[in-house]
Structure 1
């Protein structure tokens, strides 16, 4: 299973590094390798969250995620999307943006492509920060089968019963960020943040609606089988919007990596190749987690990943004004994942030793009877 899932990632890594060595020499080889490692370290928590969504999709859409999704991730989110952001925020025409991107030392009105992308950081950070914050808030406020940090999660689950409370918290956070961190970019930050919120509510809401519809159709299908009737199940729509949700999520995670990559290289093709290799591993890891059933075996991994997402959302908001090194972002994500994994292993050992009991009470049974 391991080689089958990661085979393409290994092959593309080898091909990509060979191409980097041939095109840019030993220095280019090293830069692409570093960028690949940077992308993986920044997005490990992304893989865990992706897996929680991907396991709700059928094998066909999982393959779409690994094929079409990779093309969107590599060329769309890490090459074309930054070009669009620079063009929109700097009010440059597409030809000028592409020319600047292809010639890293070239300037337009005194700024290079990398500097224009850096100048777009307030809008990028606000959009991505609000989108990721909503993911974290919706998770922390919802009732869960298991609680990792029960002293935090149980009270918040009660508060989360208030309608649209996560949206209110996200809007208040956006207002505070625009007031304390945005400075002269306050209007831009507010607009980008609201767009991030609207994007999350739209994509996630549509996926939930279609998924609920498919569940109803599945129940009717089961009933029809008992009575000998046949009902055609409507498929694809729920999976499509879940797929779109994953792509926007990937974009939100890739923002800081793309901007931070210009501190390592000013060559857009080196950046795309390095981050693209990293993105391949994140997708392979996502599928591996789903097929291996890792999230079911290590029940706190999902918690750790969402706490890492919450931390990244805060870092993006603070990063509107203050630069926070990418290594800090990566280490925070790895730390949360590591702690959650360790807690899950300890829980499994305790459960095994006690014959499947509740242990010290960390597991919380929900009203559904689980």
Structure 2
């Protein structure tokens, strides 16, 4: 159309007159409702994305993308297995490890823990543990030194610091003249790490690989070989390829199996939160229906005059669809702007609120992550904005159809 009067009429109806302030108030409330809903959706999904990223980064920074272990017992020819695995172009690094359970004792304080024997130089290639040492050094785990590196939460609960002696006991017995006694060894604390994930900071200790073999009486065998991949999302495929390439029977696992519950739970929460918070936008869109129904009732005389001047029912319908769409568009635009700004500044605003209220929202002994991360994704913004615009447009259909059904004679009878 050269003269889109439907657009101008719809824009004119969005402005308040002296007699319809209540309708304008409901229109404003609808805009704010949509804006709040969109802002909440973008912010919450960004925080959920941040949690997923942090979980993946911290778990895989300490765990491994994939592991190769013997089907039963220890892995004997681990050097040969590591060499064959390293020939795979998808694998960036390999490192042997020994793993077991134990108890750490300092004085009268006792705590259960997971024991991991590593070679520091090799371990730094497959994990980020060396980057999280807060005291001491990771390289102090030399063969025969019987040094130990503790997580920060574990060290704090035991009151252990660098240079202290700790007793490490394992669930294996030794027969002595005094009877059957649990096997233990005294270690020296030579490092303390903090990865920001309570599971590791509270429940993991690291010692040298040979010291772990001697303590667990594994001779030259290891628990398995840890693998780091160039693309962590290729782990399932690489695990299948290795299972077909390696001779013999091995147990090959990847992070999507060993930590699948974490990421499946996050994905489920994201979906549920998206559905729940979408209801806020839906309620605001329902307010648009109420607003337009009242506008149609208020503008029946105007509709009748337009019809007598030759306006078609389709044009009348377009006028009120324009008015409702503007409410939805403005509310969506405000919500997207607010959501993006809030999502980009969550990591700054939350610590500020914690200082002002003197309260930590995410206690490290309760939650896996004690910070509130955020990761804004364009796909989420587009999806939420499209949903809001679609609901705003759909909410205009019924009132606009009602407007197009107004009969001029009936509307002007009492004017």
TM-score bracket, shorter-length normalisation: under 0.3
Higher strand content, 1 or 2: 2
Higher helix content, 1 or 2: 1
The alignment's TM-score, normalised by the length of structure 1, stands at 0.22
The alignment's TM-score, normalised by the length of structure 2, stands at 0.20
Largest Rg, 1 or 2: 2
Using CA pairs under 8 Å that are at least 6 residues apart, name the structure with larger relative contact order, 1 or 2: 1
